[in-house]
Amino acid sequence: MDLTGIGIWSSQLRYGNAAESADAAAELDELGFRALWIPDVGGAVFDAVGNLLSATKRTTIATGILNLWMHTPSDVAASYAELTAAHGDRFLLGIGVSHAPLIDADAPGRYGKPLAATASFLDELDATPQPVPASRRVLAALGPKMLSLSARRGAGAHPYLVTPEHTASARGTLGDGPLLLPEQTVILTDSADEARAIGTDWLRSYLALPNYANNLLRSGFSEDDLAQVSDRLFDAIIAWGDEDAILRRVSEHRSAGADHVSCAWLPWRDTASTRALHRTGEPASRGAGRRPLMSTVDEVRCGIAGLGSRLHPAAVPWLTAALPPRGPATSYVDTGHRVFSFPQPVRFFALEHALPLHGVPDAVRALRGALRGFGLYSPYSVLIRVGAADDAPLSPAYGRATGYVNLTVPRSARYVELLRTVEHVLREHDARPHWGKAHTATAEILRPRYPEWDTFARMRGKLDPDGRFANDYLARLLGSVDE
């Protein structure tokens, strides 16, 4: 396992279309990249590792990182043994403790003491019948205590969101022997304005996580640097410019003691807008009647970008930026039917799936990776809304508080492929499709997702024993009447 040189850190390889990820991995292998790193924020991570190992001949496939809260040590050891038996010694297991706000969101207080949790996970991993060798695992590590643990209990450390100065400090903590494998985010653009438009919100989302914020404060950045995402901080964390500028930053990490540097290409930004709806007895706001028209203008704006995307899909971020911006945040009061609906002159495809509400954050993270990995952007936002559980047997919200994830795309064959990829990602998170929007689910897929499916089937057979209301589509969707 040769971990010198440069690797690629990519959520696209993890959550994108499996066949396209394999093709990209094979090309990166041929180009000589030493390792391909993929994240783990839910889903079948070892399937993704296997897919990339099968597609490559020489490069190491590494998890950057495997979230220890999402896996049992016994399953990890068994999966590692199976993959290395099939593909040889090319799998590096990166293990990490994630972040308190993410882990405690479902179970407050679970995160506890990250250092102790990591050590305990490694103890259990070492006690399995086929333990992962310490020489084939690294730890996500930023501070001195976790860095020291990575030197004692693994092959070294995989720091994320760090500077060359941090790399030098980490090498001092690790000593000369252990591997030091930092990640470096890059944006290929010569424009400072474009780099900041792409990267600022992405970086801000990471600064909200205490592990990263505290490490940067220890590294000499101020609270104001973090709060403002200052130019100083941005330029220290994200390497932007041409290929030579990126290579200079990699060389700085290598000179500071890094054995291998993984580069994460940042293709677009992470921003979100919110819409809150409240019942009220107040009269309609002055000018509220114009609001539906403004929503229609937004639709046309997306439609124009969608037309351009048919010729140049990767241009969507710049097309949407070039068009007139949406208006500022506002609030208004109007009757319900005018708030919820508006004229839509643009034709599009839409997919919507209903997920258990607690699983929406993980699903959205996976979806973000899949959308970026596909290499195709939709000018429409991903819409997320929340609903209560209900008791209708075939309602997507049956029996559980529900989060609805909606993706709208322009009408073209290429975007239909994107919807299929998204559908697959959401299915892995126990999603149920919207009955009236695009999906490819069959009765075999749907039955286990609805606890009262068989009750519905019996009632259907009783009310329509001769299949008078059956057709080929319903046979695919609901099964035959006699099933």
Number of domains in the chain: 3
Q: Which two tokens stand for residue 116?
A: 């102790």
Mean of the pLDDT values across residues 96-105?
81
Q: Mean pLDDT in the chain?
A: 85
Residue of 276, 308, 362, 295 whose CA lies nearest to 40: 362
Digit-coded pLDDT (tens) for 76-94: 999 999 999 999 999 999 9
CATH number (domain holding residue 310): 3.30.70.2520
What dihedral angle (degrees, nearest 10) is formed by the CA atoms of 320, 185, 233, 150?
150
Q: Please indicate, yes or no, if residue 302 is contained in any of the structural domains.
A: yes
Question: pLDDT value at position 222?
Answer: 97
Contact 30, 434 (CB under 8 A): no
Domain range for 463 is 445-478
Please indicate, yes or no, whether residues 451 and 391 belong to a single structural domain of this protein: no
User: How many Å is the Cα radius of gyration of the chain?
Assistant: 25
Residue of 348, 345, 338, 402 whose CA lies nearest to 379: 348
Question: Which of 18-32, 131-145, 324-338, 341-355 has the least mean pLDDT?
Answer: 324-338
Digit-coded pLDDT (tens) for 437-478: 988 889 999 999 999 999 999 999 999 999 999 999 899 899
CB proximity list for 24: less than 8 A, separation 6 or greater = 12, 13, 16
Q: In what order do the strands lie in the sheet with 348-356?
A: 383-387, 402-410, 348-356, 432-433
Question: Which of 106-120, 141-155, 411-425 has the least mean pLDDT?
Answer: 411-425
CA 311 – CA 309 distance, rounded (Å): 5
Of 265, 299, 323, which one is at a domain's C-terminal end? 265
Please indicate, yes or no, whether residues 296 and 354 belong to a single structural domain of this protein: yes
Angle at 323 between CA 333 and CA 273, to 5 degrees: 40
Q: Please indicate, yes or no, if residue 273 is contained in any of the structural domains.
A: no
Q: Please indicate, yes or no, if residue 386 is contained in any of the structural domains.
A: yes
Q: Please indicate, yes or no, if residue 313 is contained in any of the structural domains.
A: yes
pLDDT at residue 104 is higher than 50 = yes
21: left (phi over 0), alpha (psi -120 to 50) or beta: alpha
CA 36 – CA 263 distance, rounded (Å): 9
Please indicate, yes or no, whether residues 154 and 20 belong to a single structural domain of this protein: yes
Helical packing angle, 114-126 and 73-87, nearest 10°: 60
If DSSP codes are grouped into helix, strand and coil, which group holds residue 179? strand
Q: Please indicate, yes or no, if residue 283 is contained in any of the structural domains.
A: no
pLDDT band at 282 (very low <50, low <70, confident <90, very high): confident
Please indicate, yes or no, whether residues 207 and 341 belong to a single structural domain of this protein: no
Contact 15, 369 (CB under 8 A): yes
Please indicate, yes or no, whether residues 118 and 64 belong to a single structural domain of this protein: yes
Return the higher-pLDDT residue of 3 and 304: 3
CA 353 – CA 367 distance, rounded (Å): 12
Return the higher-pLDDT residue of 360 and 306: 360
